[in-house]
Each structure stands twice: as structure tokens, then as C-alpha cells.
Amino acid sequence: MAQIVDEVSRTFNEYLLIPGLTTKACTPDNINLNTPIVKFRKGETAAIELNIPFVSAIMQSVSDDKMAIALARNGGLSFIFGSQSIESQAEMVRKVKKYKAGFVVSDANLTPEHTLRDVLELKAQTGFSTIGITHDGTSNGKLLGLVASRDYRPGRDSLDKKIKDFMTPFPKLITGNFGISLDKANDIIWDNKINALPIIDEHQYLKYFVFRKDYDDHKINPNELLDSSKRLLVGAGINTRDYAERIPKLIEAGVDVLCIDSSDGFSAWQKEAIRFVRDHYGDSVKIGAGNVVDEDGFNYLVEAGADFIKVGIGGGSICITREQKGIGRGQATALIDVAKARDAYFEKTGIYIPVCSDGGIVQDYHMVLALAIGADFLMMGRYFARFDESPTKKLIVNGTYVKEYWGEGSNRARNWQRYDFGGSDSLKFEEGVDSYVPYAGKLQDNLNQTISKIKSTMCSCGATTLKELKDTAKITLVSSTSIIEGGAHDVILKETKANS
């Protein structure tokens, strides 16, 4: 008969943190959220550390170059999705590594022959009101003009009106030359009372925009995650099919860390992919693996040479692997088991393998629980999919703003490579759904609030670092009744704008 594991499979919702001694040192401004993302030896420092313990999921609906830039500027890291062509993924990596704070690559562009209808459709799709008009409609074509909201009246102008008839033409534009400093660009914006400054090269080709509204964002961000050349850090997801072709292109583009994207990482295919990296690049290229849910899976991938291990099967909000295949484990239990294996391996070898908790996060306090249980950092999809910086459309559904969110195991993603068993290249059944998530606004605004909650909770636990949290936190199981007790109960809530 099968081996039966008697331990109950539990979720984060079944645990609570017990307060520890809050000393005078436990204030939010003293909390350090730095955490390693790749393995290191005892007494040494990891080659890559995060300034906040967050990475965005390897998903089409979450992690592109825009998300990668926004998250790295706030101290975290994105793994750009691999379910796209090698060339397009490498180009996304390249855009992140070339990013300069305050200089924005134009994401809304048309040609002079497009119409007002095209302008309105593009604005609705992207949310951008400033549109660069280039000779070929690309973000780096020859700049011929600019369209802003002041240039047209939707209720009065014909939707068939050509852009060339109402755009601000190039001779009337104020521009900056490629290579200009950000301070100088902002001086031009303020001196000329304009909202956007196009940055062009010597041949009039559009390179960037600098926006007045971003002025406050140009201040130095102490959490910005940078490499030794002061460039933003970025990761990329790979699969176990085309890694021999994909990895060299991603390295050439400047990727800082790789991660194998799979629903089940306890696999000989992952071992082969890791071995390819070690054989061709030694330890200079960092690669994570997973997902696993127990000690056996962890040890297998560690012995294969993985730099970090991702934990979680079936716990994501759009994942239906457990429902479809009966495979998985409660995220809290899986993380407890793998963290014990990580600590035992460190004790035995002196090598620390960071653990990433992937899935199962519903409330912000679940993040602190995951970190206290043993995770070094968290990978999240739904959390980041809600923000302006995610690559999906913002829609109105039943009177509410939402953003699209679909799983890599859905037919929409068509990412059959992450379910590879060495067979035919097709998705036989879905392990993810196509859905919506409530629109939440800008990443930075939401992230700041989440970080504040985490720091406050850590103060209550008496910990100022994530290592202290792991070493000293006390956690208790909760009953279904105590979960009810933890929320508002036995009162009649007032109707307010916030909850109406």
C-alpha cells in the first residue's frame, strides 16, 4: 500500500503569531527586511540579496519588464515569464537592465495616419494619455509629433479624424537630447510648464519620455535593488524543454538569476536543466528550482545544484492542480517540512539554501507567517496582478474595476512546457483558471502599506530582522471558532463609503 503521511495538511489561515517581547529597539524604522535569494556558505554573504522579501510570479499576467522595473525600484525582484519566445523574453530582460530612473520607454505610440478612434482605443487599453507619434508607430521610431488630451475633443471631433490633423507636430515640441541628465530634463519640464518631455537622439528617434507627474519618484530610493553597475536586478523563468537555447540568450541580455518554472519540480528534467547550467557556466549563473512540498523534493534539487528552492503545489489562487490531479500539500505544512530540511542541510554542510514560498498567501499577515515558518522570500502572483504595472488590461466588470489574471496552467497561457514529462508538446488538461482580480492602483502605494504591516507585526513579535523572526517567533494553531473571533463579530457594521 502507499506510504501514508499522518500529519494534517495545513494552510496559513490555520495559524496565528503569538506576541513576543517588544523591546525599545523594535520600531518600524529599525526593521531590516534584507534576505538572501541564492545559496551561500556559513560566514559568507549571498551573491544576491533582496531588500524586501518579495518576488513576482513567473506568469504572463504578472511579470513583464514594467513589473520588473517597478518591483526592483522598490527592493524586490521579478522573474519575467518564460512562456513567450526567447527573443521577446530576452528583450524584456534587456529593457530592465537598460532602464534609467525617470526615463520611461514609451508604451503608447501611433503613426500620423492613425485616427482619433485609435487614440481613444489605445488610451482605454493602456491608460496613457500622452501618445508618441512616430513614423512607424513604435516606441523608438522617428518622432513626428505628440498627442495629449488637450489636442482633441471626443464629443466634437470625428473619430475618423487623422492624427496628423490634430497632433502637436515635431517643430512645435520641446525635446531633450539623448544623454541629458534627469535633473536637466526636469528643469526643462518646469521652465516650460509642460507635462512630458520627449528624449530623442541625433536622428530624431524617440528614446524616452520624462514626465512631470513622476518628479517625486525621481528621488533616490534607498530600497532600489541594483547590481554592481547600478542597474536594476531582474530574473527570468525558464522551462525544461528549450533551456539550452533560452539560457544563453537571457545571460547575454543581462539576466541576474534564473528559475525553472514548473508545477512539480521533483523531476529528472529539472536536474538536467540545472546540470546544463553548472556544466556550461559553473556557479556564475544562479538558478532556482521547484516547486516541491517535502524534504525528499528539496534534497533532490539541492543535490542537483539549485541555488534556491521554491515550495508550493496547488496553493495559488488560480491553480487547480490539487482539484485536477489530487497532487499537492497545504502551503504551511509544505513550508514547515522544507524549512526543516533546509536547516538540517545547513547544519550538515554549512551551505544555506534559501527557500521561496510560492502560493497560499491570502491576507498580508500570511506573509509574516510564511517568513516566520521558514521562508526566506515569497513569490506572489495575485498580489502583483492587481496593480497598474502588471501587463494585463484594466476593465470594468459589474461596475467594478478589475484586472485580468490567468494561470500558466490555463489554456489561455498555453504554457505546456511547465508540465513536461518528456512527452508530446500539448496541454492535455488545465491546471489553472482564467479570472479577474480587483484593481488596486499603483504597486508602490500598496507595497508601502503591506511593508508597514509586516514591520508592525515583526515589532509585536520582538524581531528586527527576518532571521530573528525565524529564530524567535511563536506560532499557534487556531480553531474554526477562533478564526471567526478574529474578525468583526456580534456587531452591526455602519454603512460607509469604504464598505458599501
Backbone φ and ψ of 314, nearest 5°: 85, 5
- Residue positions annotated with a catalytic role: 319, 418
Answer whether 131's CB lies under 8 Å from 108's CB: yes
For cell 502599506, name the residue: 449
Helix (H, G, I), strand (E, B) or coil at 68: helix
Is the bond preceding 291 in cis, omega lying within 30 degrees of 0?
yes
Q: Are 144 and 135 in contact (CB under 8 A)?
A: yes
Residue 426 DSSP symbol: S
Cα distance between residue 97 and residue 384, in whole Å: 21
* Nearest of 364, 303, 297, 376 to residue 337 by alpha carbon: 297
Rounded CA-CA distance 444/448 in Å is 6
Cα-based angle 126, 361, 265 (whole degrees, multiple of 5): 95
Classify residue 374 as left (phi > 0), alpha (psi -120 to 50) or beta: left
**β-pairing, 109-110 with 400-406?**
unpaired
The residues, ordered by sequence, that sit 6+ positions from 413 with a Cβ below 8 Å of its Cβ are: 59, 60, 83, 406, 407, 432
